[in-house]
Structure 1
């Protein structure tokens, strides 16, 4: 017995063994911890398992509080995130919690029988946790003097915000390492060609920029993404460095950073429709004529002011003088975010008349970032809050923004009567508070829905949905039923606009469905048929309603089963 006791103590006290075990199991977390000689790794392993249990137990209780709305209150998420654990700091506690959340979201071994409800709330907590951290980093960046606001740092934060649910968020240090490697190659070319940079000598500056062009465009193949211009990835600096495809503004930031490291100042220019850089090649000239403009989207081509309008198909007289001026970092960041908002709105019409919820959510997400970068701008805050009220999400955050102080309404060029923007804020605030009150009533006043005998389908079934647009165009979607009405509850105008050739008209069951493209629909029973096999539906809200997918149908979670108590037996009878 004493031998076993000694062996146990030997294993327990082998710090290097437990350090290696921790590193193998939680590699990313290990790399983020600041290792010191006094860390007891056995205790860290025990703590990591304790954090995992606490996070899982907490998430399992979210649905009973949040259903059917699905948006956890800030107080609930703050309680989970701010939980302090012994032997580590509060900052390290957050790292442990974040690591467990990403494990729940990204490290499931199978799509079948994974806990979808816990995964759903893990995603929401992770987004909340990371958004709080990124906002704090933005506040730090924007509080600096203009000369110290790094374009690269802002671009990285925008990329992190846009990819906030990814397992790994690319850091500023990782991006800087890639740029340093590019600069190293450019310096090799400068040395090989015997160039000695003199910032006052335009010939040597031009020679160095030619070396930059050779590395970026000829050797590495950077170019504008003309084939998929409106993809979100074109605005993420890490993705542009990876794919070497981007839009003018991100390619300009990369060019700006490389040139800066080479000792050349290339200033950002927010030219209409096409972002540019400029460097002062002709200091003896006046105003814009003293600058050469660089088009990083098109192989680093150089332009004089007179040729810039032709790039966007405009005559010179249509371009104002200020379009050639350098702009501060905040304007660059806002233009990047506005690009992402426009990308989220989409380009080209849908083939059907359905509302595109996924695009609206993306638009809401980036509208929030616009409020972070330039706080106190009423139009940005109102646009965000109006969309939050429309979608019924992030209402707490929208209300907090609308009630905050420090709004600056003097920026607008349009003259409004005194108090205009204050009234707009109050109207929007009323919308948000009313919507939030309705949701709170829903969560505390749930009613069981008993199905009529004539209803064919049930909650959780995977279906094929036939959607008509116009007389001939027919689109098929795969979807899952999340709820139903025994008879259509929509208006006659909606029925005439959104449905076609229904034999039973509105006098039939209508089903709320989540579709494979990330959107939702309200569908007549006539337009649905049971999917022959059952497939996974990738939708952000799937875990709000279901606890798992069993390979054939979605299994309702406890709250959904209580709301539709008769549906499970019907679903099982239909799939055999």
Structure 2
């Protein structure tokens, strides 16, 4: 029983009956052992059918106690209990994904101004890596460290800069020149000091899409680097907006009247290209063809997540390996959590389940009025 890992579920100010908590933990442990033992008797194929997890969906005990017992099984010494470990890992994978999916749905129901791009990226990361120790607070702390480094550079350039006095993200800076100083300092820290860069050599590696891996490896694809870039800028008082640009995700920075509909009132920022600032014409050179004005428009946080998930979905389709199939399953789950009635992706999920020998849950999708399922282009 790993009580230190459970302390985060308790408040220091609340009175806790530790005897009752111990009883609850003990009973949860017995329930977890019963379910793991039943899995080893009932399922012999690699993939557990969807209804195989029905007992877990109706747990009569606190899920964190149940999860703690699964961790105890996984941490058994050596080669002891390998079959139990195998199924405990599958159950833990499912249990954590269900909790993350609930968090994602709650996130999507919030007003758009309360949907942090960084939090959305973390939720996708967590869902695709449920056995990894990824939490929003840890990612935010790493981003805050980078922001502090930017402030130090900014202080040497302009000791009276308003970003140094204000708390993170509380005040937006109206003066374009002061905003430019922030972006210059960001580029200095991210690309010169910390050596962040776009991953040209291994572009189609799924690690490039996971924000915690972007922070560890200091490389990524346009959309993941853009989420990091705009988050830091916002903490320093500069508003950048994600742009619906095809093939290569960009940010835009307003040089004219706030909220202007004129695409020429904006400078476009390529976080993948070391923060390079582009004109409309240079954006077209980036992808090699002309695009209409609609592709310079702002996208919502949900649409950003759709493109991130679309990238992972495309990666899952590239190879016929167990790892690719798992990525395809996870990305389809995420896509359908956002667009549950998308017929194209429901059919793809059904084909995948049939291929893997999994009986899917019965679903009765409603045909949508219009198809939201155009797959984003892979190079994002």
Same fold (TM over 0.5): yes
8 Å Cα contact 1:235/1:247 also seen in 2: yes
Query: With CA pairs under 8 Å and 6+ residues apart, which has the higher RCO, 1 or 2?
Result: 2
* Deviation of 1:68 (Å): 4.8
Aligned partner of 1:134 in structure 2 is 100
Looking at secondary structure, tell me which structure has more helix per residue: 2
Q: Output one character per residue of 1:169-225: Cα deviation in whole Å (capped at 9) or x when no partner.
A: x12222112222222222233233225358332211111111111121122221112
2:107 pairs with 1:147: no
Q: Structure 1 residues 411, 68: CA separation in 2 closer, same or farther (over 3 Å shift)?
A: closer
Gaps of 5+ in 2: 163-171, 375-380
Q: Return the match for 1:100 from 55, 63, 69.
A: 69
Are 2:16 and 1:39 equivalent residues in the alignment? yes
Aligned-residue RMSD, C-alpha = 2.6
Structure 1 residue 258, shift from structure 2 partner: 0.5
1:409 matches 2:377: no
Aligned-partner Cα distance in 1 for 2:332–2:59 = 30
Q: Which residue of 2 aligns with 1:52?
A: 29
- TM-score, length basis structure 1: 0.58
Structure 1 residues 152 and 211, CA gap change in structure 2 (3 angstroms): same
Contact 2:208 2:214 in 1 (8 A): yes
Measure the CA separation in 2 of the matches of 1:367 and 1:237.
Answer: 19
Note if 1:241 corresponds to 2:210.
no
Which structure has the greater CA radius of gyration? Answer: 1
- Inter-partner Cα distance in structure 1 for 2:338 and 2:327: 17
The DSSP-based 3-state class of the residue aligned with 2:277 is strand
Give the distance between the partners of 1:341 and 1:363, measured in 2 at CA. Answer: 5
Residue 237 of structure 2 aligns to a residue whose secondary structure is coil
User: Aligned partners of 1:413 and 1:262: how far apart in 2?
Assistant: 36
SS at the partner of 2:29? helix
1:103–1:346 Cα change, 3 Å? farther
Query: In structure 2, what is the Cα distance between the partners aligned to 1:38 and 1:266?
Result: 45
SS, match of residue 278 in structure 1: strand
1:256 is the counterpart of 2:213? no
Aligned equivalents of 1:96 and 1:136: distance in 2? 18
- Specify which of 264, 269, 287 is matched with residue 294 of structure 1: 269
- Mapped to 2, the partners of 1:73 and 1:229 lie a distance apart of 33
- Segments of 4+ in structure 1 off by > 6 A? none
Equivalent residue number for residue 230 of structure 1: 204
Of 128-137 and 328-337, deviating more is 128-137
**In 2 relative to 1, CA 83–361 (structure 1 residues): closer, same or farther, beyond 3 Å?**
closer
Contact 2:70 2:92 in 1 (8 A): yes
Q: Deviations over 1:142-178 (max 9, x none)?
A: 1123333221111010000110133x2x122221122
Does the CA-based 8 Å contact 1:377-1:409 persist in structure 2? Answer: no
Gaps in structure 1 of 5+ consecutive residues? 1-21, 86-92, 348-354, 415-576
Residue 46 of structure 1: how far off its partner (Å): 5.5
* 1:81 and 1:94 in contact (8 A); partners too: no
User: What is the count of residue pairs matched by the alignment?
Assistant: 363
Map 1:310-325 to 2 at 5 A: 310-312=285-287, 314-315=288-289, 318-325=290-297
- Tell me, yes or no, if the aligned pair for 1:255 and 1:296 is still in contact at 8 Å: yes
Q: State whether structure 2 residue 220 is matched by structure 1 residue 267.
A: no
Aligned counterpart for 2:143 among listed residues 179, 199, 205: 179
TM-score by structure 2 length? 0.86
State the alpha-carbon separation in 2 of the partners of residues 185 and 171 from structure 1: 22
- 2:326 and 2:298 map into 1 onto residues whose CA distance is 33
Q: Partners of 1:102 and 1:340 in 2: how far apart?
A: 28
CA distance in 2, matches of 1:59, 1:286: 57
Correspondent of 1:159 among 125, 136, 147: 125
